[in-house]
Amino acid sequence: MDKLLDVENVSISFIQYTKGLNQRDLKVITDLTLDISEGEILAVLGSSGSGKSLLAHAIFGILPENARLNGKIKFKGKELSQADKEEIRGKGIVLVPQSVNFLDPLMKISDIAIGHCDSEEEKKEKKIKQREIFEHYNLGPEVDEMYPFQLSGGMARRVLVSTALLADPDLVVADEPTPGLDEKTVEETLNHFKHMKDDGIGVLLITHDIHAALEVADRIGIFYSGYVIEIALKEDFSGDGENLLHPYTKALYKALPANGFEVIKGHQPLHGEIVKGCPYYDRCDWRFDRCKEERPELMDIGLKKIRCFKYDGVTEDMIKDGAIEETAEANIEDAANEVVEKAAELVDESNIEESAEAVEGAEEAVSETEDAIEEEVAEAVEGAEEAVEGAEEAVEVPEEAVEEGTEEAVEESSEEAVEESSEEAVEESSEETVEESSEEAVEEGA
Ligand code: SF4
- For 241-272, the pLDDT digits (tens) are 999 999 999 999 999 988 888 888 888 877 66
Distance 300 CA to ligand 1 centre (A): 16
Distance 234 CA to ligand 1 centre (A): 22
Let me know: does 123 contact 154? Beta carbons within 8 Å: no
291 CB within 6 A, ligand 1: yes
Q: How far apart are CA 419 and CA 388, in angstroms?
A: 8
- pLDDT bracket for residue 5 (50, 70, 90): very high
- For the ranges 123-137, 172-186, 389-403, the lowest mean pLDDT is seen at 389-403
- For the ranges 120-129, 192-201, 400-409, the lowest mean pLDDT is seen at 400-409
Reading across the β-sheet that carries 219-224, which strands appear in turn?
93-96, 171-175, 202-207, 41-45, 219-224, 227-233, 304-306, 299-301
- pLDDT tens track for 330-340: 666 666 676 66
310 CB within 6 A, ligand 1: yes
Q: Which helix (H) or strand (E) holds 233?
A: strand 227-233
- pLDDT tens track for 179-206: 777 788 888 889 989 999 999 999 999 9
Distance 102 CA to ligand 1 centre (A): 39
Which has the closest alpha carbon to 217: 201, 230, 233, 228? 233
> Radius of gyration of the chain from Cα atoms?
45
Chain mean pLDDT for the chain: 81
Distance 309 CA to ligand 1 centre (A): 6
Tell me: pLDDT of 26 over 90: no
Q: From its phi and psi, is residue 314 left (phi > 0), alpha (psi between -120 and 50) or beta?
A: beta
SS3 content of the chain, % helix, strand, coil (to 5): 50, 20, 30
Contacts of 403 (CB under 8 A, 6+ apart): none
pLDDT at 361: 67
Residue nearest to atom 1 of ligand 1 (CA): 308
- pLDDT bracket for residue 359 (50, 70, 90): low
Tell me: pLDDT of 370 over 60: yes
Residue nearest to atom 7 of ligand 1 (CA): 287
284 CB within 6 A, ligand 1: yes
- pLDDT bracket for residue 287 (50, 70, 90): very high
Closest-lying ligand 1 atom to the alpha carbon of residue 278: 4
Distance 338 CA to ligand 1 centre (A): 17
Of 244, 249, 250, 278, best ligand 1 pocket probe by most atoms within 8 Å of the beta carbon? 278
What pTM, to 2 d.p., does this model score?
A: 0.71
281 CB within 6 A, ligand 1: yes
Q: How far apart are CA 24 and CA 429, in angstroms?
A: 82
308 CB within 6 A, ligand 1: yes
Of 246, 282, 291, 298, best ligand 1 pocket probe by most atoms within 8 Å of the beta carbon? 291
278 CB within 6 A, ligand 1: yes
Closest-lying ligand 1 atom to the alpha carbon of residue 286: 7
